[in-house]
Amino acid sequence: MSALLLAGKPAADALLERLKPDIKKLDPKLVVVQVGEDPASSSYIKQKMKSCEAVGMRHEHLHLDAAISKEKLFEEIDQLNNDSDVTGFIVQLPLPSHLQEFVPDVIKAIDPKKDVDGFGAYNLGKMFLSTEFEHLPPATPSGIIELLNFYKIDPAGKHVVVVGRSNIVGKPIAVMLLNRDATVTITHSKTKDLVSLTKQADILIAAVGKPHLITADMVKPGVVIIDVGMNRTEDGKLVGDCDFDSLEKIASAITPVPGGVGPLTVASLMRNCVTAKKRQMEV
């Protein structure tokens, strides 16, 4: 069996196309804050800026010195919160080591109305309630939902096994799918007998950060594989958490890495900017 390739680009392009009229009308502006020079962050930000250009969304890359103090960083966040021209902003993670312990405070400092990454408690809490309240959901889980919709994979009644329980991917995608009538199992590093659970999955979502953790002998035939992982190998290649070559022979559908979930994360961020602008105008 050869799996259907769940390419992210056509799904992301379709979403961006749908956003264009609102972008033209509402003229939102996205600011991406980068602290320091993390190469992976630089590459993700480049993709976000490129996507903004492609859809005609105003954008700014606010690049701050790696040695910036905590106080100065919070001042910058305050300014963005108070700048009425800025619709939404994100602080690209990870932060340099001296600021890493303040990540929860940084997320908390972002005005929920401008929290287009959807990482803050207010937006996560709303997403928790029901699909109706997913106003600014976290971009990657929201992108996974978009990908499933695009390829007409209905999670209702399916057993979804999520590997990873981070606040930005694992936990929110589990809740978003639960709210779409999936039966969800969440697993993590302390899970006993992971394989007995992954073998039950109709849809398996891997968000771990360990190259090729999920292999063909861990799943049942016909499974849908959504690989969120982005891992840089020693030779500079980007690989997922799933062993694509063995899994594509047994899965019914599988995302590639790169080119699967990644483009949808970016497109979902654009959608959040549009939603944020609409809601700000209503207020």
Ligand X SMILES: NC(=O)c1ccc[n+]([C@@H]2O[C@H](COP(=O)([O-])OP(=O)(O)OC[C@H]3O[C@@H](n4cnc5c(N)ncnc54)[C@H](OP(=O)(O)O)[C@@H]3O)[C@@H](O)[C@H]2O)c1
CA torsion, ordered 229, 225, 134, 103, to nearest 10 deg: -20
Q: Which residue, 96 or 259, has its beta carbon nearer to ligand X?
A: 259
Q: Which residue of the set 48, 113, 114, 277 is catalytic?
A: 48
Q: Which is nearer to ligand X, 76 or 134 (CB)?
A: 134
Closest separation in Å from C-beta 174 to ligand X: 11
Peptide linkage before 258 cis (omega within 30 of 0): yes
Q: State the Cα torsion 214-103-171-208 to the nearest 10°.
A: 0
Among 57, 229, 250, 254, binds ligand X (CB under 6 A): 229
Of 111, 113, 115, 117, catalytic: 117
Cα–Cα distance for residue pair 204/229, rounded to 1 Å: 12
Q: Is 189 in the site for ligand X (CB under 6 A)?
A: yes
**For the chain, how are helix, strand and coil distributed in percent, rounded to 5?**
45, 15, 40
Q: Does 238 bind ligand X (CB under 6 A)?
A: no
Sole binder of ligand X in the list 148, 207, 247, 267 (CB under 6 A): 207
In whole angstroms, give the CA distance from residue 30 to residue 52.
8
Tokens representing 184 are: 């969800």
How near is the Cβ of 27 to ligand X at its closest, in Å? 26
Query: 92 catalytic, yes or no?
Result: yes
Restricted to residues 261-280, the positions that interact with ligand X (CB under 6 A) are 261-262, 265
Of residues 120 through 139, those in contact with ligand X by CB under 6 A are: none
Query: Exposure of 88 by Cβ count < 10 A (0-12 exposed, 13-18 middle, 19+ buried)?
Result: buried
Q: Is 154 a catalytic residue?
A: no
* Site for ligand X contains 198 (CB under 6 A): no
Instruction: Write out the catalytic residue numbers.
Output: 48, 92, 117
